[in-house]
Amino acid sequence: MTVQNPPALRASVSRNGLLWTLIRFREAGISIFILILVIAVTVRAPSFLTVDNFKDILLNISILTIVALAQTMVILTHGIDLSVSSMIGLVAMMVAFVVKQNPEMPVLFAVVLGMALGTVLGSFNGLIITYGKVPPIIATLGTLSIYRGLVFFYSQGTWINSFELPTNFKLLSKGTPLGLPNMVIIAILVAVIVYYFLNYTRTGRDIYAVGSNPDAAQFAGIRKQRITFLVYLMSGLLCGLGAVLWVSRFESAQTNTALGFELQTVAASVVGGVSISGGVGTVPGVLLGALLLGIIQNSLTLIRISPFWQLAAQGLLILIAVISDKWILNRVERTKA
């Protein structure tokens, strides 16, 4: 049980205690897993370990990283947001329509609009969960189908194609004025902000507190409801950002945009060491989790595993990562006792 909430204790426990080494150890586990995978793949396909290929991987996991970080904040409070995929789908469609109608519009406006629309959807989730007292999994399961239904309602079954979008909007994700594609830089920026927020702000620490022990958090004067509301709101906000990038990268908005994406974001968080029961998880861990998923996807193609078996291999590797993590954790706990 003590292993369940080290980050919440991090502020009070000295940094060279056993808990601290354990936290480091957790991220070491997945790092080693990634390292082994990289070496194994490079042996089979030397083209894997090139700068271009890694740029490719980073580009592919940018949106996943952004949304997985949002998902992580939600899971930290012992919640879950299954509606992320539908929020992305709905915001993507609405933003694409607006961009199509206003091709001269500054790109930044599209980003802000997407984030604002996402915030509304996210706060609707938050409202139901905090003040309506609906369990997160049910509330977001409901909004998963509601938001997806709204996509159809809004678009009337049509979709936005590449030629309908202005060039500068398409370059929002792929342009490389700073060396790396903009999207990767945005993802890194989001990661840095979330890292700072979770570790160095009061509200961020409160998120861990609410997740590890909601009752104690309340007795400590933390407004549990407000924190819970906030994480769902932020989840919507980041999904809105992800949606704009999605439209820009794939140059289209379809009714089934991001269908099934919610499970990928949960997988990235969980593989990155975020505990589904709340209170445990770090930003670097989630980044590694997303990176691992990206590397798996990329390397399976490179070592020429039939595309039909790739999903199975992905699922198997996720299972192995989770089981080995648990196994290591058990070992550590046993040596401690």
Partner 1 sequence: MKAQAVTESKSVALISANPPPRSFLSSFLRWEWMLVGLIFLDVLLNTRLSPFFLDANNLARTSSDFMEIGLMMLPMVFIIITGNIDLSIASNMGMSASFMGLLHNQGVNIWVAALAGLLLGTLGGMLNGYLVSRVKLPALVVTLGTYAFYRGIAYGFLGDQAARGYPKAFTYFGQGKVFGTIVPFSVALFIVLAIIFGLVLHRTTFGRYLYSIGNNENATLYSGIPVARIKFIIYTLSGFMAALAGLILAARFGSTRPDIGTGLELSVITAVVLGGVDINGGKGTMFGAVLSLLLIGLMRFGMGLLNIQGQVQGIVVGLLLILSILLPGVAGQVSSLRNTRIQWRTVLTGVGVLAVFIAFFLFFFWSRAPVIAGG
Instruction: Write out the binding residues for partner 1, residues 229-288 only, by CB under 8 A.
Output: 255, 260, 263, 266-267, 270, 276-279
The CB-of-208 to partner 1 minimum distance in angstroms stands at 11
- Rounded to whole angstroms, the Cα distance separating 242 from 254 reads 15
For residues 79 to 118, the per-residue mask of contacts with partner 1, x marking binding by CB under 8 A and - elsewhere, is -x-------------x--xx-xxx-xxx--x---x--xx-
Please tell me whether residue 326 binds partner 1 under the rule CB under 8 A. Answer: yes
Nearer to partner 1, 57 or 107 (CB): 107
At closest approach, how far in Å is the CB of 47 from partner 1? 24
Segment interacting with partner 1, rule: CB under 8 A, options 32-40, 48-56, 147-155, 192-200: 147-155
Burial class, 47, CB count within 10 angstroms (exposed 0-12 / middle 13-18 / buried 19+): exposed
Print burial letters for 187-200: b (CB count within 10 Å at least 16), e (below 16).
beebbeebbebbee
Q: Does 226 bind partner 1 (CB under 8 A)?
A: no
* In the complex, minimum distance from the CB of residue 116 to partner 1, in angstroms, rounded to a whole number: 7
Site for partner 1 in 154-173 (CB under 8 A): 154, 157
> Among all chains, which residue has been given the structure tokens 């509301």?
229
DSSP H or E segment with residue 164: none
Q: Does 4 bind partner 1 (CB under 8 A)?
A: yes
Report if residue 196 touches partner 1, rule: CB under 8 A.
Answer: no
Q: How many residues does the chain have?
A: 337
Is residue 331 near partner 1 by the rule CB under 8 A? no
Residues numbered 199-218 forming contacts with partner 1, rule: CB under 8 A: 211-215
Q: Is 323 in the site for partner 1 (CB under 8 A)?
A: yes
Q: CB neighbours (10 Å) of residue 37?
A: 17
Q: Classify each residue of 269-302 as buried b or exposed e, where b means 16 or more C-beta atoms within 10 Å of its C-beta.
A: bbbbbbbeebbbbbbebbbbbbbbbbbbbbbbee
